[in-house]
Amino acid sequence: MMIRRRTFAHVVSAAAAAALVSTQPNAVLGTTRVLGQSVALKDIVPAGWVIGAAINQNQSDGRDGVAVDLITRQFNSISPENVLKFQSVHPEPDRFTFDAADRYVAFGRDRRMAVIGHNLVWHSQTPRWVWDGPDGGLADRTTMLARMRTHIATVVGRYKGKIRGWDVVNEALSDDGTLRDSPWRRGIGDDYVAQAFTFAHEADPSAELYYNDYNLATRPEKRAGAIRIIKDLQQRRIRIDAVGEQGHWRLDTPTPAQIDQAITDLRATGVKVMITELDVNLLPQAAPPTAGQPPSSESNPYATGLPDDVQQALARYYADAFRIFLTHRDDITRVTFWGVSDADSWLNRGRMNYPLLWDRQRHPKPAFDSVVTVLTGKR
Ligand code: XIL
């Protein structure tokens, strides 16, 4: 063990080497495991970034001890996979349910992490009552705005000074860059986005406020829509600190050049850029399986394991992405993975997917090593 430690110590930072000595459980794993687990992403990201993971309730409640250790060692920011969504905290008009969310926030604060709020206004995972009018149709503008304001004031207010920043509006755009025809927009009008940011700022003037969406790297017209949202807020003198590209990517898309262009374009608005939900989907696009039926083998090609060439392609993709991120080190303030290990990922949905840096046994994958290599400037 001493030889391994010494051999390793000279190729990584002193901080990482110190972490190695203090993480005895890793000693039971093989050499590469020891090496991989011992480097902490949080110790090697550029100054000015935080590196995060979305955590699920088993993790924020402390039931999944192995994952908790991994999150604690590796990350200095967390996002809530589900516990802060509208339906989780505000299921009925006069009922707020904060137990799980409180534990999530405490999890991050106990570890001095940047705790992220996700999210306030979205068309999904939001209860029907929010948009319903008395006659079964849509609520009128005044009613819906009042509901939005109560929700934001209560949730943001509760965690004032404790949550660093909020995804205020999530996924407001269609792929063509126009505003999505969501119940929020139909009920309130196009200014619902500006209203949400205003309410969030009122509730916690110190909190950072973000606009978050997907396909901003793959679709220039959608990116243009995000830029219009940002500029509209800026023209109205409403606070916005950063734009999040979710980063639900695939091996073939977006390309490194597209990622590079997206960060450049988004940053040109003046706000910072965050990669907020990074994962790389390795499975073919497939229609949702019939309930109760196992997925077809074509839709689930890696049911018994990931071939090495795909494993290596994933490692290369992550390396390429992080190389681009580093060229934008001053434009980016956060990179967050949507999950910790492949076992936890939302991308499985009845199939076997491998989108993250840790495998189902919570061992680091070649993709982890390739990210470490890039972040430590070795390649
Ligand atoms: C996903 C969660 O990971 C799942 O557990 C849940 O069933 C659905 O939502 N974009 C977002 C996230 O902004 O909130 C979504 O999270 C993934 C897509």
Atom of ligand 1 nearest to the CA of 170: 13
pLDDT of residue 2: 37
Nearest in space to 108 (alpha carbons), one of 31, 158, 153, 164: 164
Using a 6 Å cutoff on CB, does residue 277 contact ligand 1? yes
Q: Beta-carbon neighbour count of residue 32 at 10 Å? A: 12
pLDDT of residue 20: 41
Instruction: List helix spans (H) across the chain.
Output: 2-9, 14-22, 31-38, 41-44, 57-60, 65-74, 86-89, 99-110, 141-158, 183-188, 192-203, 220-235, 256-267, 308-327, 366-375
318 Cα–ligand 1 center, Å: 21
- The SS3 assignment for 29 reads coil
For the whole prediction, is pTM greater than 0.85? Answer: yes
pLDDT of residue 292: 84
pLDDT of residue 6: 34
Catalytic residue check, 202: no
- Closest CA to ligand 1's atom 4: 346
pLDDT of residue 163: 99
CA-to-CA separations, 119 to 166, 210, 233, in angstroms, rounded: 6, 10, 18
263 Cα–ligand 1 center, Å: 23
Using a 6 Å cutoff on CB, does residue 344 contact ligand 1? no
DSSP state of 288: P
Nearest in space to 348 (alpha carbons), one of 303, 293, 296, 298: 303
Mean pLDDT for back-to-back runs of 10 residues, the chain (379 residues): 35 39 37 58 98 98 98 98 98 98 99 99 98 96 98 99 99 98 98 99 99 98 99 98 99 98 99 99 88 90 98 98 98 99 97 98 98 92
pLDDT of residue 37: 58
Share of the chain above pLDDT 90, in %: 87
The phi, psi pair for 62, rounded to 5°, reads 85, 10
- Tens-place pLDDT, residues 245-261: 999 999 999 999 999 99
Catalytic residue check, 208: no
48 Cα–ligand 1 center, Å: 27
Is 274 in contact with 333 (CB distance < 8 Å)? Answer: yes
Q: Which residues contact 337 (CB under 8 A, 6 or more apart)?
A: 52, 53, 54, 277, 278, 279, 356, 357
Nearest in space to 141 (alpha carbons), one of 153, 150, 131: 131
345 Cα–ligand 1 center, Å: 10
Using a 6 Å cutoff on CB, does residue 170 contact ligand 1? yes
